[in-house]
Amino acid sequence: MTQELYQKAMKFAGEKHSNQKVPGTNANYLLHISNVVMEVLMAHHAEQNFNLDFAVQLAILHDTIEDTSASFDEIKNEFGEEVAKGVQALTKNDEITTKKERMEDSLNRINELSKEVGLVKLADRITNLQAPPPHWSQEKVIKYHQEAQFISEQLKGKNPYLNRRLEQKIKDYPINLKADL
Ligand code: NI
């Protein structure tokens, strides 16, 4: 049942992310997680052509390997190999030096797996395309915008609803924030 899987995954993520805040805020990291899950639920409400249980678990766990002590094997034991593989693909490889290559590598691995994994990446970036934090430089804002465009291109066709939503978020992203001051 989706509800039980949700609760189990949220307990795991809640414990793992317990000391992590959403960058630039005082909010616990579960704020980010709940927003990503919400996007997945809305996408499924729009069109039921993907595995909701799988996508919800991925959404909840997507940052656990990258940001916490959680390991591939731990997730595999708790949630199964498919979920662990998905979370691993959504995790950037620290051994790759440039940010751009790290993203390319992750997207390539995401594209080798089923569409739910790519759909969660779309939901993650949609969530992160809120107004940029005031301390970000113009250069960082532009780079983030470009990276979002790259993600959007690489994940075309994963989910029409989320693809459209990301395109709209990219269009609305205030890259000229500083020019207006
Ligand atoms: Ni995330």
Please give the CATH architecture assigned to the domain spanning 3-172.
Answer: Orthogonal Bundle (1.10)
Between the CA of 96 and the centroid of ligand 1 the distance, in Å, is 19
C-alpha pair distances (Å), 11 with each of 5, 18, 135, 144, 152: 10, 10, 32, 31, 31
Domain limits, the chain: 3-172
Question: In 3-state terms, what secondary structure has residue 19?
Answer: coil
Q: Is the pLDDT of residue 176 over 80?
A: no
Between the CA of 181 and the centroid of ligand 1 the distance, in Å, is 30
Between the CA of 23 and the centroid of ligand 1 the distance, in Å, is 11
Percent of the chain surpassing pLDDT 70: 97
Hey, what long-range contacts does 88-91 have (CB within 8 A, 24 or more apart)?
A: 89/113, 89/117, 90/58, 90/62, 90/63, 90/65, 90/66, 90/117, 90/120, 90/121, 90/124, 91/65, 91/66
Q: Is the pLDDT of residue 181 over 60?
A: no
Q: Quick check: 122 and 58 in contact, CB under 8 A? A: no
pLDDT of residue 179: 54
Q: What is the mean pLDDT of residues 121-134?
A: 94
Q: How remote is the C-alpha of 65 from its chain's centroid? A: 13
Between the CA of 32 and the centroid of ligand 1 the distance, in Å, is 7
If one counts every other C-beta atom within 10 angstroms of the C-beta of residue 26, the result is 7
If one counts every other C-beta atom within 10 angstroms of the C-beta of residue 9, the result is 24
User: How does residue 2 score in pLDDT terms, banded at 50, 70 and 90?
Assistant: confident
With tokens 């052509």, the residue in question is 49
